[in-house]
A and B are shown apart, each in its own frame.
Chain A
Amino acid sequence: MKRAPIQPVGASPLLDVDRLTVRFGGLVAVADLDLDVAEGSIVSLIGPNGAGKTTAFNTISGIYQPTSGTVRLRGRRLERSFTAGTFWAAMLVGLFTGLLFAAAAVDIDRLWLAVVKRGMITGEPFTLAGAAERLRGYFRAELALDQMAGKWRVVSADGSEVLAIRRDLGEARALRNSLQAAVTARRTGPGTVPDTTDLAGGVEAHSDSLKLPPIKEEVYDRLAAGKRRIRVRGWTGLFAGWLLGTAGAIAVWQRGRRSPHVVAQAGIARTFQNIRLFANMTVLENVLVGLDRTIPGGLPSMLFRTAANRRAEADARRRARESLEFVGLSGEANRIAGQLPYGDQRRLEIARALATGSRLLLLDEPAAGMNPTETEELARLVERIRGRGVTVLLIEHHMNVVMRISDRVAVLDHGVKIAEGTPAEVKRDERVIAAYLGDEG
């Protein structure tokens, strides 16, 4: 078996855990853990039960969030940074939610009536310019023409007030313009409080051509105030929705910035202490899931089975079989994963993790529950994995395995690293002996 060269001291490590602390409420599970894993080495993490080994693993692989401290892979933090893409995505979500809220706030139903339906009643062809004009009219709360039972009605923009009814379209139009002028005059008149004399002037200016129907003052007031109301509602809705959408999008991003898939995509794969296979999928499919990120192409390529997609799928299958062969499961490819014997399930989990192409493999008690022969096989498998150039960080209770295959061993007790060094050094360490056998002093 070929041993990959261990990096000389001083070179930057593959994995660099720096003052990692994980606290659950009052309990400190991992305290100020420093751990370097050199490329191409096998490092073991040992310690009595409840020492925080699995917690450290789960934090490195993104399942738990550290209370403080950092984890770096090749000097890079395992975290998604806030990029321009994140910003624009959040803005887009905000815009979408904003528009949704605004649509509700300005009453999309009446907006539709004003913009679309009223464009279809006059018999003139529906034009975009006309629709835009009516849209503007709706947000200025201008009077509009509507039709009911063959008669033309002058109505408020939202259709809630009917001001006049005429048989003739031309007459109704002229009336609408005069009434609109009256309303505008009321709105734009001097002073914030609408003035009756102001209104009278406005009405007189237009009433020489047309007699305005008797309309109550308060109706004019309402119509004049309509513009302000609709705009306030629209902008409020847009802003509230934008705020909610952007905040929501950023919250989702924040929650997922260090999630397991980010860590896995960065190049750390893992197995679990209690096996977590996709129990109802076949063995081959389990490994394929690990490979799926390497299959390029989006939805169309999958739907139309493009040549590139077929090639990539076939290639992935080939590599999956290779990976199965490596762990010695090539005969079981089409079995349902959950039906494999226990030891095979452990090896399948390793094959699946290897298939991701990660440079660092975290193995959480891979030999748990195995008999001595299987444990021996597993130890050889771990060495072969290292032979492929994959670095291994291992949690294990079988001390003979740990001491034989590890390049370095770190010992945790109550969340604190009490010793680190070569297996021989650790074996001699008095604190380690005390931690395992109990303190006699």
Chain B
Amino acid sequence: MSPAGSRSIEETADAPGEGRLATFLREKWDLVALGVLALAPLCLPALGGALGGQVTTLFIYCILALGLNVMVGYTGLVHLGIAAFFGIGAYLMAILTVPMYPFQIGWLPAAIVSVLLTAGVGLALGAPTLRLRGDYLAIVTLGFGEVVKVTLRNLEQITGGMKGLNPVPPPGAGVKLWGVDLGLAFAIDPRWFYYLSLLALTGVVIAMRRLEHSRLGRAWVAVREDELAASSMGISATRVKLSAFAMSSAVAGLAGCLYAASLSTTADPNAYDFNRSIMVLCAVILGGLGSIPGTLLGVAILVGFDTVLAPWADSWIQQMDINPTGSSLLSFSGWRLAIFGLALVLVMRFRPEGLVPSRRMAAELHEAHP
């Protein structure tokens, strides 16, 4: 997965005394993780049930966070409204596929159209806010997120208001492959969505790595580091920032497309509110700004905690009959946010650069590479 050009930079010198396995894991973590995740559904029957759906959601959030990482991590533009683009992607997907509207163009064409349109919306937000940085841009994106949420709620004829749009047909509905109705397969077995999301996530990771080590990725980081110096090198900061807006929105839109299809509904607009933006932003910061493995780990911890661990712990407490009166003080979910907050505080106190800081962010990397 790692392009040849980037390897020489990403490799770090072998620490003395480190086992070969550890070295292998550190250099090829991506392939190992992909292999494990690809084989997991075949070995773990639980992934065919509710857990499969939860892990799929995790993958979708990973994609969303990688999208946000383009703006916050690489380009250094604070974005508090990524959920809005997530929502726009989901709603566009729904509008283009639900049976109540005449389009019904199928998942893949709808995904392509929605991703492009979401990128367009990102450009439309980016163009008038180009000169804003830091706090001011944060406020604009925050406001945009709220505006989108309220607009989605109020355009009742188009978006179904609080009911949302449903049913969003599964990908491949009506397509027969070797005698299997793909749509039916997607609807019955969550492992289909698991693999689709994993495929999309892999694609996004590869794309991000390539961009990181290409002209555009360098320009993003250069603008983050010093906008004036970058433009004195002939880089148009305007274009670079707009491209970051567009790329970020497009990837978030893709996540939205997967989300709507996997839930078979857009859910109500409140699913795309500020909390979700902050959650994803926290995941990116926790993992390490501008770092792909960091972002993935951050999402795995934060969202995994929320969507996988918390429900599991709740049901365990119920099974053990620890909490017969149903007191919220004794349920795990009651303490969820407290634990979440405490963990964030601790990480930011002891490892402010994130769990897996990017090479560019990690100032402690001293070794010169051949």
When the two chains form their complex, are residues A305 and B102 in contact, meaning their CB atoms are under 8 A apart? no
Residues of A contacting B5 in the complex (Cβ-Cβ under 8 angstroms): 310, 313-314, 317
When the two chains form their complex, are residues A335 and B238 in contact, meaning their CB atoms are under 8 A apart? no
The yes or no answer to A388 lying at the interface (CB within 8 A) is no
When the two chains form their complex, are residues B225 and A281 in contact, meaning their CB atoms are under 8 A apart? yes
When the two chains form their complex, are residues B233 and A112 in contact, meaning their CB atoms are under 8 A apart? no
Residues of A contacting B230 in the complex (Cβ-Cβ under 8 angstroms): 278, 289
Q: Which of A345-362 contact B (CB under 8 A)?
A: 352-353, 356
When the two chains form their complex, are residues A313 and B214 in contact, meaning their CB atoms are under 8 A apart? yes
- Shortest beta-carbon distance from A85 to chain B in Å: 14
Question: With A288-B218, A289-B222, A313-B214 given, is the CB distance from A280 to B368 under 8 Å?
Answer: no
Q: Is the interface of A mostly helix, strand, loop or mixed?
A: helix
The yes or no answer to A290 lying at the interface (CB within 8 A) is yes
Residues of B contacting A264 in the complex (Cβ-Cβ under 8 angstroms): 231-234
The yes or no answer to B68 lying at the interface (CB within 8 A) is no
Q: How many residues of B contact A (CB 8 A)?
A: 47
When the two chains form their complex, are residues B222 and A126 in contact, meaning their CB atoms are under 8 A apart? no
When the two chains form their complex, are residues B102 and A119 in contact, meaning their CB atoms are under 8 A apart? yes
The yes or no answer to B184 lying at the interface (CB within 8 A) is no
The yes or no answer to B188 lying at the interface (CB within 8 A) is no
The yes or no answer to B216 lying at the interface (CB within 8 A) is yes
When the two chains form their complex, are residues B233 and A302 in contact, meaning their CB atoms are under 8 A apart? no
Residues of B contacting A292 in the complex (Cβ-Cβ under 8 angstroms): 215, 218-219, 233-235
Question: With A278-B221, A313-B5 given, is the CB distance from A112 to B226 under 8 Å?
Answer: no
The yes or no answer to A433 lying at the interface (CB within 8 A) is no
A72-B292 Cα distance, complex, nearest whole Å = 45
The yes or no answer to A339 lying at the interface (CB within 8 A) is yes
A108-B155 Cα distance, complex, nearest whole Å = 8
Interface string of B121-164 (1 = CB under 8 A from A): 00010011010000000000000000000000011111000000
The yes or no answer to B339 lying at the interface (CB within 8 A) is no
Which chain B residue has the least Cβ–Cβ distance from A61? B232
The yes or no answer to B9 lying at the interface (CB within 8 A) is yes
The yes or no answer to A295 lying at the interface (CB within 8 A) is yes
The yes or no answer to B199 lying at the interface (CB within 8 A) is no
Question: With A264-B233, A280-B360, A302-B210 given, is the CB distance from A334 to B228 under 8 Å?
Answer: no
Partner of B231, one of A119, A120, A131, A259: A259
Question: With A292-B215, A302-B211, A310-B5 given, is the CB distance from A265 to B234 under 8 Å?
Answer: yes
The yes or no answer to B177 lying at the interface (CB within 8 A) is no
When the two chains form their complex, are residues A299 and B216 in contact, meaning their CB atoms are under 8 A apart? yes
Residues of A contacting B157 in the complex (Cβ-Cβ under 8 angstroms): 109-110, 112-113, 117
A93-B126 Cα distance, complex, nearest whole Å = 13
Question: With A332-B368, A339-B363 given, is the CB distance from A63 to B228 under 8 Å?
Answer: yes
When the two chains form their complex, are residues B222 and A303 in contact, meaning their CB atoms are under 8 A apart? no
Having A280-B221, A289-B219, A317-B5, one finds 6 other A-B pairs with CB under 8 Å, namely A61-B232, A276-B228, A278-B230, A281-B218, A285-B221, A334-B9
Offer 9 A-B interface pairs, CB within 8 angstroms, sorted by A: A112-B155, A131-B102, A248-B127, A252-B130, A261-B237, A272-B229, A278-B221, A288-B218, A339-B363
